[in-house]
């Protein structure tokens, strides 16, 4: 089985120098927050697959919705002026659940495709409105927005560009928000926010605000290190964008559908985006689906462009698939009927309590928690903010040690990322933290 796994598959986000030397984890089944591999070993999946299995791996309601939908209409496209009943209902329910700020939904099959689509819609709107120079997109260092050509160009993670001739030249790169790592000694959180917002303004003004179509940003950076912004960051950034006349696209591929304790992450921070991109948790991970929620101005611009050109030359065969739409509708119901937003508040509290206990370890510099997202930043000297030598690959070794102990996490360099299913109980969080403590301790003991 190991040979089969290592030969025919090109794994996403994988260091292929390593996985050929290791036995890959091949998962056979899952139940709740736990999965089992083909050898029968059980793991707590504290990453929810890849930030997406929000309700765990055996939710009866989502499985029933998929089974029923397959029996009624197993395939249909949302294209050519036709769609399925489930897809049409999902669009209406998403707009209603989002609170009335949006007017239309474009369905895709992934987060990358959703981001790629919104960039094309922004460019279409610029051309239609007589401002064809508005083609630049502001994006942040360490941001993740997908891996297709356009979405990968927006990413602020060098590994996504290496060898691919990316980024394409339509981005304005501005600072990330990582107070722990990036603040100057003696600088307060407010002073740090002022500095990076000022730098953001300078870079946008250098490019020319009249040339900028939008800024795209995750409310909380996920793959960039689970970077939680200081309290003043988003209000200051909102004022800056309003002053420059630049709309915000909120990338909620990870932050949406309960992950931050609200339906959408932008709601937690009081943001008013012109569009939202989402995927992953929209179906709880049970089927591929992405979506772009468009506000009134973008909806009108796309409609005007379609009128001008006759055919909107953009689409997706599987975007809005009827089975995926049925699962997404069941997921929306579950979020509300099971009071999962309140449960996320409890999950956040238990993550903070349990993971803060790791701060007594010399190798733990910072713990970050918000909603159902968390990160443990590993440092050679946390107080001095002195990182480990990257060649030691401490984060990767900690993740491997955790996996040996039955815990799946993700190493983002020397940051251990956690994104447990929203149904994770306080006792299960305590087990995650205890196992992670053992993995960190064992890794550092190897070099003692």
pLDDT at 9 over 80: no
Residue written as tokens 């409890």? 346
CB 254 within 8 A of CB 277: no
Q: Who contacts 233 (Cβ-Cβ below 8 Å, separation ≥6)?
A: 177, 193, 196, 197
Strands (E), 61-127: 104-108
**What is the C-alpha separation between 419 and 254, in angstroms, rounded?**
9
pLDDT for 331-366, tens place per residue?
999 999 999 999 999 999 999 999 999 999 999 999
**What is the C-alpha separation between 194 and 213, in angstroms, rounded?**
24
pLDDT for 419-448, tens place per residue?
999 999 999 999 999 999 999 999 998 876
**Sign of the alpha-carbon dihedral angle for 260, 263, 264, 266:** negative
Phi, psi of 184 (to 5 degrees): -80, 145
Tell me the pairing of strands 275-278 and 248-251. parallel
> How far, CA to CA in Å, does 281 sit from each of 5, 28, 53, 247, 264?
26, 21, 7, 25, 11
CB atoms within 10 A of CB 194: 14
Q: Give pLDDT, residue 114.
A: 97
**Sign of the alpha-carbon dihedral angle for 333, 337, 341, 347:** negative
Q: Give pLDDT, residue 161.
A: 87
**Stretch 181-199: mean pLDDT:** 96
pLDDT for 389-410, tens place per residue?
999 999 999 999 999 999 999 9
> Can you list the domains of the chain with their CATH numbers?
2-58+339-445 (3.90.1150.10), 63-337 (3.40.640.10)
Q: Who contacts 51 (Cβ-Cβ below 8 Å, separation ≥6)?
A: 222, 223, 253, 254, 259, 280, 281, 419
pLDDT for 278-288, tens place per residue?
999 999 999 99
CB 141 within 8 A of CB 223: no
Residue 383 — pLDDT band, cuts 50, 70, 90? confident
pLDDT at 17 over 70: no
**Stretch 227-253: mean pLDDT:** 97
CB atoms within 10 A of CB 227: 25
Q: Give pLDDT, residue 446.
A: 82
**What is the C-alpha separation between 323 and 86, in angstroms, rounded?**
8
pLDDT at 24 over 80: no
Residue written as tokens 């002195």? 386
**Of 253, 246, 49, nearest to 151 (Cα)?**
253
pLDDT at 15 over 90: no
pLDDT for 110-138, tens place per residue?
999 999 999 999 999 999 888 999 999 99
> How far, CA to CA in Å, does 332 sit from each of 256, 281, 325, 339, 378?
11, 10, 11, 11, 36
> How far, CA to CA in Å, does 4 sit from each of 1, 19, 71, 87?
5, 13, 33, 37
Q: Give pLDDT, residue 415.
A: 97
pLDDT for 205-218, tens place per residue?
999 999 999 999 99
**Of 132, 169, 171, 148, nearest to 305 (Cα)?**
132
**Stretch 192-201: mean pLDDT:** 97
**Stretch 3-19: mean pLDDT:** 62
Tokens at 250, concatenated: 């909120």
**Of 169, 177, 160, nearest to 218 (Cα)?**
177
**What is the C-alpha separation between 37 and 24, in angstroms, rounded?**
10
pTM score of the predicted model: 0.92
């Amino acid at each position: 089985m190991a040979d089969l796994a290592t030969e025919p598959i090109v794994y996403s986000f994988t260091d292929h120098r390593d996985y050929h030397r290791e036995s890959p984890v091949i998962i056979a089944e899952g139940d709740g927050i736990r999965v089992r591999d083909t050898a029968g070993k059980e793991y707590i999946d504290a990453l929810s697959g890849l930030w997406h299995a929000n309700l765990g791996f055996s939710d009866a309601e989502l499985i029933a919705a998929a089974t029923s939908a397959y029996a009624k209409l197993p395939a249909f496209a949302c294209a050519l002026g036709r769609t399925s009943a489930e897809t049409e209902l999902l669009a209406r329910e998403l707009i209603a659940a989002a609170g009335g700020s949006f007017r239309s939904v474009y369905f895709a099959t992934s987060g990358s495709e959703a981001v790629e689509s919104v960039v094309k819609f922004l460019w279409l709107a610029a051309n239609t409105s007589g401002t064809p120079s508005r083609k630049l997109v502001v994006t942040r260092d360490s941001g993740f927005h997908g891996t297709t050509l356009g979405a990968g160009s927006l990413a602020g993670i060098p590994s996504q560009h290496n060898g691919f001739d990316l980024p394409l030249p339509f981005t304005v790169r501005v600072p990330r928000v990582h107070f722990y790592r990036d603040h100057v000694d003696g600088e307060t959180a407010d002073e740090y926010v002022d500095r990076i917002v000022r730098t953001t303004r300078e870079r946008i003004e250098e490019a020319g605000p009249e040339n900028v179509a939008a800024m795209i940003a995750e409310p909380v950076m996920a793959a960039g290190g689970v970077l939680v912004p200081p309290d003043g960051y988003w209000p200051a950034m909102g004022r800056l964008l309003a002053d420059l006349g630049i709309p915000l696209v909120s990338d909620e591929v990870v932050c949406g559908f309960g992950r931050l304790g609200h339906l959408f992450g932008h709601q937690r921070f009081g943001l008013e985006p012109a569009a939202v991109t989402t995927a992953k948790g929209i179906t709880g991970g049970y089927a591929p689906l992405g979506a772009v929620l468009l506000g009134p101005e973008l909806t009108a611009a796309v409609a005007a462009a379609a009128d001008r050109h006759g055919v909107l030359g953009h689409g997706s065969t599987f975007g809005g698939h009827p089975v995926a739409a049925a699962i997404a509708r069941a997921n929306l119901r579950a979020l509300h009927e099971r009071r999962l937003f309140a449960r996320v508040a409890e999950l956040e509290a238990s993550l903070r309590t349990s993971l803060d206990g790791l701060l007594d370890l010399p190798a733990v510099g910072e713990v970050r928690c918000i909603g159902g997202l968390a990160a443990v930043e590993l440092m050679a000297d946390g107080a001095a903010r002195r990182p480990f030598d990257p060649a030691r690959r401490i984060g990767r070794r900690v993740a491997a040690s955790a996996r040996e102990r039955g815990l799946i996490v993700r190493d983002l360099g020397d940051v251990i990322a956690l994104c447990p299913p929203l149904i994770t109980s306080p006792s299960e969080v305590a087990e995650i933290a205890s196992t992670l403590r053992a993995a960190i301790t064992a890794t550092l003991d190897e070099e003692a």
